[in-house]
Amino acid sequence: MTSGIPLQAFGCTGVQVSRIALGCMGLAGTWDPNSVGPDNIRKAVKAIETSLQCGITFFDHADIYGGTACETVFKECLMALPGSREKMFIATKVGIRRGFYEHDPAYIRTSIEGSLTRMGLDYVDLYQLHRPDPLTHPAKTAAMLDDLVSSGLVRMIGVSNYYPQQVLALRRYLRAPIVSNQIEISLLRLDPIYEGAAGGNGDGVLDQCLELGITPLAYSPVGRGWLTGHREVPSDHHQRAVIERILATMKELAPAYGDASPAQFAVAWLLSHPAGIIPLVGSTNPDHIKEAAAAGAIQLTRQDWYKLWVAARGTNVP
């Protein structure tokens, strides 16, 4: 199977990764580790196999996904697909616990050891702080992260859901570069595109990524499923008008792009940004994975990118 997914250098490194990644939050098919059975594993293996066939090399986990079950099931996938580890860039995260966040160094050490054991790995390519922890000084967190890099358990450091000033606070104490920031961004969540003052609710994350050579990872790239065109939008949904406007614009543009699907437009729109956004496709359905992967071959014109942005904004550009 040929792939339309391009590769890109990750962060400030020369490591090449696929420009579309598989988000593994639903890989186990359950949030109860005790309920994982042969059918869960079979579906997970098929999802990983399909991803690799489509050219996806980047797989994103977190210790909390599936209540740890997703990392455990991933080990089964690696065992079922001999030689697959060598083709993969594997990421996981730490920091979210039940009802609170924690970046205490001892907890980070325990968490990475648990993740490696569950996945059957000697190291992960990318280790991310899942959400900021306001009760841990970034100097303490940075010292532990640097230790994990120097010991070879982790190759690169990233963050997730960090605003620009939080990135700078951690970066001050961290010897290793921050290579990525995983954020929610889609046509239904435009905040990272805007600089705060100009965008009202903007946070300037993408501008910082461009400035510092940080790769943005986009979770919920199809607007939590609302931009697939497969879900009926409830009449009381707070973004119903926006969703319908975006989908109508996608329908209008589709004939010029080989009748691309709404999900493909949503992914292609993110891929067009010069910050090198990597959308995380959160599905275990092989058809949905193939559909998203095909978006890598779509080259939106500048005019059409702006048409979708205007539809999402609800106003013309100034």
Angle at 43 between CA 37 and CA 47, to 5 degrees: 145
Which residues, 6+ apart, have CB-to-CB distance to 213 below 8 Å? 11, 12, 177
Quick one: CA dihedral 28, 30, 36, 42, positive or negative? negative
Alpha-helical regions (H) of 81-163: 105-119, 138-150
Helix 138-150 × helix 164-173 angle, to 10°: 60
Length of the chain, in residues: 318
Residues designated catalytic: 65
Beta-sheet pairing, 21-23 with 154-160: unpaired
Task: Label residues 180-208 b or e (16+ Cβ within 10 Å = b).
Answer: bbbbbbbbbbebbbbeeeeeeebbbbbbb
Widest Cα–Cα separation across the chain: 55
* Distance (Å) of CA 296 to CA 18, 242, 271: 10, 25, 8
Phi then psi dihedrals of residue 183, to 5 deg: -135, 160
- CA pair distance 188, 186, nearest whole angstrom: 5
24: its two tokens: 């593994």
